[in-house]
Structure 1
Amino acid sequence: MGNKPTGTSGRSSDSQDAGLLFGILRAAVDAAASGATEAAAARARTLADPRLGDATGALLDGGVGTLLDHGLRGLWECGWQPRDVAEYARRLSPVARAYLLDAMVARADRHHPREGRDPRWQAQLDELAPTPPTSADDVVLSRWSSRRRLDRPSALEMVVSVLGLLAAAPALTPILPPPGGAGAPGVRGTRGNAVEVKILGRIRALLAKAESTEFPEEAEALSAKAQMLMTRFSLDDALLESAGSARAHTAAAGVRRIWLTAPYVGAKALLAHVVARANRCRAVSDDRIGYVNIVGADLDLELVEILTTSLLLQANRAMLGHGRQVDGRGASRTRSWRQSFLVSYATRIGERLTEAGAASQATLDEDQSARLLPVLAAREQQVEHLFAELFPRTRTHAVSVSNPSGWAAGRVAADLADLRQGRQAVDQRTSA
């Protein structure tokens, strides 16, 4: 593939070279997608062979760009969102993930202009790249890898892993319209306002403090205060809706996707399920891929995502604080202990959240309760309808527990994260 004679035969040879390289690249990607990492790496090394000639780099840049466009366009058409890709890409190496995110942002304008994208989809893209690449040329493989001082073999192995990930990604349930596409079923926009932004900011700040403190009693108090504010805020929103206020959210349901980190995905999904149930939402998880879809009213979805994320962090910190576990013979019991810990933690948190919700609703007077019940019933109907539409075939499964010590420790940790209901949070609300 070195020096070529001029004329038609040279162009034909160039075309043959490009076809050969693209075939090897496709074979490497197919191997990576099927999990044959050694075969994928071997084919990537073949492409990096310096004996192939100087023209190889430009030809491979074109082939990689073609496969990137095809892979990303396929993801958008199969229900993926930018945030989904960013979470799913955590299974890549840090440099491969960085390349994928840069490519996703830089090549977004290639097929669908910005005005043809759902604002929520675009907001996710903007969050992932505060300083995005200026154009698709910035993520041409040879240029991108040169700026990061990657040699050709490393760059090709990296990009093959990226393309393999895209090729192997399964279809997801659409919860936002793809770029240039029609709206997803039942999904509507959130009507945020200054009051909502302010209260959600307070909730996030309280939970951030709960996550960072080393003192369980302080974490308990902060989490309790956040949950009280969340519960009351949600009920107040429903009361505003009953009064026909423009500041209330509509009863229409929507969907959020929460990604979970391995290991113990099933146990972590259980925690998301109990938080969703306590906040009038439905949840369905895919433990193989590692995510939970939450269906609920707009505001409840926001609150469930905030609380689930915080409780997962708190549970993980408490679990790791116990260190590794061994039995009387010195054999490791860490995995069974941590699985049991997380299942117990989720179970107890579910009990506490249910109690907190009931206590919060009990603070309402008779007139408020009478106005609230029809609104909550309407929201529940919307949630059930959308859930059945999007997930017509679901099944339940148990999460195994085999370590009594881990179960007991998880229950204690959940008690320390006790989300007790009280009246003092009402004073923190912003008045209507």
Structure 2
Amino acid sequence: MSAAGTIRAVLGGEISYEDALNTLTVAPDADAALVQAVAVIVDRLFQSGWQPAELHRVVARLGDPLQAQVIAGATAAYLARFRDVDPRWRAQADELSGGRKMGGGKAPADRIRLNDATLALLLELRRLPRIETLIPPPGAIPETRYSGADNRMLERVRALLAKAEATDFPAEAEAFSAKAQELIAKHSIESVLTAGPEAAPLARRLGVDHPYESEKASLLDAVARANHCHTVWSPELAFSTLFGFDADIDSVELLYTSLLVQANKAMARDEPAKGKARIKAFRRSFLVAYAHRIGERLEQTTRNEIARHELARPSDLLPVLRSRQLQVQEALTRAFPRTVRARGSRVDSLEGWESGRAAADEAKLA
């Protein structure tokens, strides 16, 4: 049996993994056959909605750096076949390629280990389902052009949040974070009032990593709702899909990432010194309380900015906001016609709850 035939047989369950690996170890054409098999599955996944960063992240979670390198190489080879590539898709692929080069100083893996990692990777990749296409794959014509938030505004927000993450003074962090959310809310209002009739809601998938995925997904949802977006969490694939208009999506991703850093920093500072079970209950309760309180703070800031704008410049802002919210909800329903409301996480530590709320009050929103 050829190497390609052996690969097809193990993927089809006709022979065992060990037998297939033994056969491939002595097959002269095994290396090329494995590369081709990965290319075929990667092609199918990219045409089935997966993006380079998402696929790489799923593979990296398996814990074998070799498999992540194989995916980075397959992505680069796939990209080289096309000229018409969405810039967001290309940026992800280029980042993976850069990461592969950075790791180039390491000694190459021996052939048997590489074949083992690649064959195991093929078995994992074949289980991945088709998902919603959010960015057109190479060769496709984009249906909706992405414009994104104003780069100058994002840089100002990013700088404020970096200061919030760096400081050891809670009150200072809170001031930076609050200012960031004010900028985000103001920019969102301006983008609503200046948007053309072609503006339409988009979606983006954000990774939600273990541990405490449910609590982290709740934090993302709290940030999203305060900024005119909605999320759907897919725990089996370890990501949440964020629905909203492009400028709001950029802001939510930036703010969520920073708040998660601030939460982890505060949690490490306040957690109890002893007891594995106690620490786990503390962290879970901390993140539940943190997400709840952060959502309250962000929504209040957004409401304040809307009220301030309406007082200074009366407009048709509120009807437009309601219309956009309906558009976002409709986009979510089209992509996920059957969703279930997740059960809230249980709070087992009063100490963690109180510490989480206090940390949320300290968090810098700008």
Say yes or no: TM over 0.5.
yes
Structure 2 CA distance for aligned equivalents of residues 68 and 81 of structure 1:
15
Fraction of identical pairs, as percent: 35
**Residue of structure 2 equivalent to 1:174:** 133
Distance 1:413 1:146 in 2: 41
User: Given the superposition, is the C-alpha separation of residues 250 and 360 from structure 1 closer, same or farther in structure 2, using an over 3 Å criterion?
Assistant: farther
Which runs of structure 2 are paired with 1:290-369 in the superposition (5 Å)?
290-323=238-271, 326=274, 332-366=277-311, 368-369=313-314
Unaligned runs of 5+ in 2: none
- In structure 2, how many angstroms separate the alpha carbons of the residues matched to 1:285 and 1:307? 18
Q: Which amino acid aligns with 2:235?
A: D
Deviation, structure 1 residue 59 = 0.9
Distance 1:366 1:267 in 2: 37
CA RMSD in angstroms, aligned pairs only = 3.0
Change (3 A) 1:389 1:341: same
Deviation at 1:108, TM superposition (A): 2.6
Aligned to 2:359: 413
Aligned counterpart, 1:9: none
Change (3 A) 1:59 1:236: same
- Residue 114 of structure 2 corresponds to 155
Q: Mean alpha-carbon deviation: is it higher for 226-235 or for 18-27?
A: 18-27
Alignment equivalent of 1:281, drawn from 206, 219, 229: 229
Asked whether 1:118 is paired with 2:66, we answer no
1:18 aligns with 2:6: no
Give 1:28-427 correspondences, 5 Å limit.
Answer: 40=17, 42-43=18-19, 46-47=22-23, 49=25, 52=26, 56=27, 58-91=28-61, 92-110=63-81, 113-115=82-84, 117-130=85-98, 148-181=107-140, 183=142, 188-191=144-147, 196-241=150-195, 251-323=199-271, 326=274, 332-366=277-311, 368-398=313-343, 399-417=345-363, 419=365
Rounded to whole Å, the distance in 2 between the matches of 1:85 and 1:126 is 14
CA distance in 2, matches of 1:26, 1:145: 30
Q: Which amino acid aligns with 2:355?
A: A
C-alpha change, 1:47 and 1:211, in structure 2 (3 Å) is farther
What TM-score does the superposition give when structure 2 sets the normalisation length? 0.88
**Matched letter for residue 190 of structure 1:** Y
Match of 1:426 in 2: none
TM-score where L is the length of structure 1: 0.76
Unaligned runs of at least 5 residues, structure 1: 1-15, 32-38, 134-143, 421-432
Which whole-Å CA distance do the structure 2 matches of 1:43 and 1:417 have between them? 55
More divergent stretch after superposition (362-371 vs 63-72): 362-371
Task: Specify the code of the residue in structure 1 equivalent to 2:119.
Answer: V
Question: CA separation in 2, counterparts of 1:316 and 1:85?
Answer: 26
Give, in whole Å, the separation in 2 of the partners of 1:121 and 1:95: 23
In 2: Cα distance, 1:146 partner to 1:312 partner = 32
- Residues 145 and 155, structure 1, Cα contact 8 Å, conserved in 2: no
- The amino acid of 1:253's aligned partner reads P
Structure ranking higher on relative contact order (CA contacts 8 Å, 6+ apart): 2
Structure 1 residues 146, 48: closer, same or farther in 2, change over 3 A? farther
C-alpha contact 2:284 2:347 (8 A) present in aligned 1: yes
The equivalent of 1:6 in structure 2 is none
- Say if 1:19 and 1:258 are closer, same or farther in 2 by CA, change over 3 A: closer
- In 2, the alpha carbon distance for the partners of 1:181 and 1:191 equals 18
Q: Distance in 2 between matches of 1:301 and 1:263?
A: 24
2:226–2:302 Cα contact (<8 Å) kept: yes
Aligned-pair CA distance for 1:190 = 2.3
CA shift for structure 1 position 289: 1.7
